């Protein structure tokens, strides 16, 4: 049995992509006669035919390397059916490259947008398998995505380091964690880092409730406050606005979520509040041990699916078992943090405020 496999990474990079690529390739080489075609810079490479056959040696030594050896780019799903100024029919172009490369299947590593396009291609008749990556952990159908645990370690480390400077100066430190639509990363790192307040998009905060925590701690022997806030967090007044109006308000004020909250607190409490935005540091560097293992397991399962000719699916983790879901059932389905999630209950039971 011979299989010619195309692999691409799309959307934002994250630790574990190379480990997953390696897992697919090495398992495929072990299980059947495989040829691997690397598609450069995500769906752009598939659209433009920018790809090349890879050698076995290219998959050696990449387990611990962050980012992606294939390169990545963002090609929004909403634009896939649109024909722009270049007059390129993107879907037709991707199908043409698939056929020109004589691929038996395509493995796509990515998050929500990547999976929606993967599902589109599956509906167009291509053999597609998705691998779930994102530091936001917001992909439906899997308990965890690879990249999340490494980002959680990094974000927790950042909060740890902020503790000492906050304590030294008696300041309120507002640390902005990545996560525009879902608060998984802020929730987990906030609990692990010992934050006093955790603010996530799923629970719009009451600024008076947050101010109470800051005031109480400022008047105590502690004297400082650590707040972990997701980049997509909003107060209750902002939550009443339509998304485009909320974004326009933020853009006009030039405030990030953390800077906006810091200003609110300085006005409400009079404390010195500082905003910290670690940004892309959270998605860079070598993957942690958990993500190396998870990425490898996901990659190997993808190779098993190719061997068994099971397509139109996305690999997933449920409990301690790696399995797969139909792309048609999970693509584009949001996965916010449930407001009654056990981690939120745990956090509240040790006195962490969510501003509600």
> Which strand ranges, in their side-by-side order, compose the sheet holding 225-230?
197-199, 225-230, 172-177, 273-276
The DSSP result for 20-80, as a single string, is HHHHHHHHHHHHSEEEEEEETTTHHHHHHT-EEEPPGGGGSS-TT--S-TT------GGGT
Catalytic amino acids? 136
Q: How far apart are CA 159 and CA 49, in angstroms?
A: 43
Beta bridge partners of 175: 228, 276
Determine how β-strand 273-276 pairs with β-strand 225-230.
Answer: unpaired
**Residue 252 is inside which H or E element, if any?**
helix 243-253
Q: Which two tokens mark 211? A: 């101010």
Give burial (CB, 10 Å; 0-12/13-18/19+) of 84. exposed
In this structure, the chain runs to a length of: 356
Instruction: List the structure tokens of 122.
Output: 């599956």
């Amino acid at each position: 049995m011979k299989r010619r496999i195309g692999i691409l990474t799309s959307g934002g990079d994250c630790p574990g992509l190379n480990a997953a690529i390696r897992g697919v390739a090495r398992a495929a080489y072990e299980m059947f006669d495989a040829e691997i075609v690397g598609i450069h810079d995500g769906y752009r490479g598939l659209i433009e035919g920018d790809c090349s056959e890879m050698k076995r040696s290219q998959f050696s030594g990449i387990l611990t390397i962050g980012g992606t050896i294939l390169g990545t780019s963002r090609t929004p799903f909403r634009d896939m059916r649109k024909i722009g100024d270049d007059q390129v029919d993107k879907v037709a172009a991707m199908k043409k490259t698939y056929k020109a490369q004589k691929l038996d299947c395509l493995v796509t590593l990515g998050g929500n947008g990547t999976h929606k396009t993967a599902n589109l291609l599956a509906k167009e008749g291509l053999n597609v398998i998705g691998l779930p990556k994102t530091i936001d952990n917001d992909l439906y159908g899997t308990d965890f995505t690879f990249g999340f645990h490494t980002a959680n370690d990094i974000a927790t480390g950042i909060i740890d380091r902020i503790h000492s400077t906050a304590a030294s100066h008696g300041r309120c430190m507002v640390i902005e964690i990545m996560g525009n639509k879902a608060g998984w990363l802020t929730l987990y790192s906030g609990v692990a880092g010992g934050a006093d307040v955790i603010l996530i998009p799923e629970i719009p905060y009451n600024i008076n409730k947050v101010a109470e925590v800051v005031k109480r701690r400022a008047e105590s022997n502690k004297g400082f406050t650590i707040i972990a806030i997701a980049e997509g967090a909003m107060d209750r007044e902002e939550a009443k606005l339509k998304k485009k109006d909320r974004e326009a308000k933020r853009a006009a004020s030039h405030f990030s979520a953390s800077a906006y909250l810091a200003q609110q607190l300085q006005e409400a409490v009079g404390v010195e509040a500082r905003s910290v935005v670690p940004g892309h540091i959270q998605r860079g560097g070598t993957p942690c041990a958990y993500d190396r293992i998870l990425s490898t397991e996901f990659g190997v399962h993808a190779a098993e699916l190719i061997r068994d000719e099971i397509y139109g699916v996305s690999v997933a983790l449920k409990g301690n078992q790696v399995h797969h879901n139909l792309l048609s059932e999970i693509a584009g389905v949001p996965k916010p943090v449930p407001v009654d999630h056990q981690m939120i209950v745990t956090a509240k039971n040790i006195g962490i405020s969510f501003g509600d």
